[in-house]
């Protein structure tokens, strides 16, 4: 490593963080699929739209929250709209733009998925900690990585 480069443990931590996140995500996705639910990305979009309330979100706002590529969000919105889980309407401040909002069936999907999603999070993440303090430590450490300041 160069003088300004990361230490060996930082590189190992980086690789382990990515592997752990991918493994946990894959396990949670598998559990949801086995339970007959749609993909986790559907849940995440619907959750962000529920949080946004009746006003909904512009597609770029949704992208920012989800960290998905634009083309993925557009296709996902199309699929969700096709299933009647979201609806589009013109943006009040820009008629060329649009806002996406969750529908009543979308809210029902969230409610139906949450118990299985919560159980999967506990099984694949929560159960790995000895206590809540360890979970808090991970939360704080990953928060430092996410801090953009």
Question: Is the confidence at residue 1, as pLDDT, over 60?
Answer: no
Q: What is the CATH classification number for the domain harbouring 44?
A: 1.10.10.10
Predicted confidence band of residue 149 (pLDDT cuts 50, 70, 90): low
Identify whether 87 is part of a domain. Answer: yes
Structural domain for 52, as ranges: 8-146
Residue 84 forms part of a structural domain: yes
Residue 2: per-residue pLDDT: 58
CA distances from 54 to 49, 103, 116, 143 (A): 8, 9, 26, 30
R_g of the chain computed on alpha carbons: 18
The pLDDT tens digits for 87-143 are: 999 888 777 789 999 999 999 999 999 999 999 999 999 999 999 999 999 999 999
Between CA 99 and CA 63 the distance in angstroms is 13
pLDDT score, position 93: 77
Decide if 2 is inside a domain: no
Contact call for residues 88 and 107 (beta carbons, < 8 A): no
What is the model's pTM? 0.86
- How do residues 44-91 score in pLDDT, each as one tens digit? 999 999 999 999 999 989 988 886 666 788 899 999 999 999 999 988
In a domain, 3, yes or no: no
Q: How many domains does the chain contain in total?
A: 1
Residue 106 within a domain = yes
Query: Between vectors from CA 61 to CA 14 and to CA 18, what angle results, nearest 5°?
Result: 10
In three-state secondary structure terms, 11 is: helix
Residue 1 lies in a domain: no
């Amino acid at each position: 490593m160069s003088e300004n480069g990361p230490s060996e443990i930082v590189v190992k931590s980086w690789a382990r963080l990515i592997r752990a996140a991918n493994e946990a995500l894959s396990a949670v996705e598998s559990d949801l699929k086995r339970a007959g639910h749609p993909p986790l990305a559907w849940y995440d979009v619907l959750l962000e739209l529920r949080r946004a309330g009746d006003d909904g979100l512009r597609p770029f706002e949704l992208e920012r929250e989800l960290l998905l590529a634009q083309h993925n969000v557009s296709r996902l919105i199309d699929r969700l709209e096709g299933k009647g889980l979201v609806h589009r309407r013109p943006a009040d401040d820009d008629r060329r733009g649009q806002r996406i909002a969750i529908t009543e069936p979308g809210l029902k999907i969230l409610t139906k998925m949450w118990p299985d999603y919560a159980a999967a999070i506990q099984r694949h993440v929560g159960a790995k900690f000895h206590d809540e303090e360890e979970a808090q430590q991970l939360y704080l450490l990953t928060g430092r990585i996410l801090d953009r300041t």
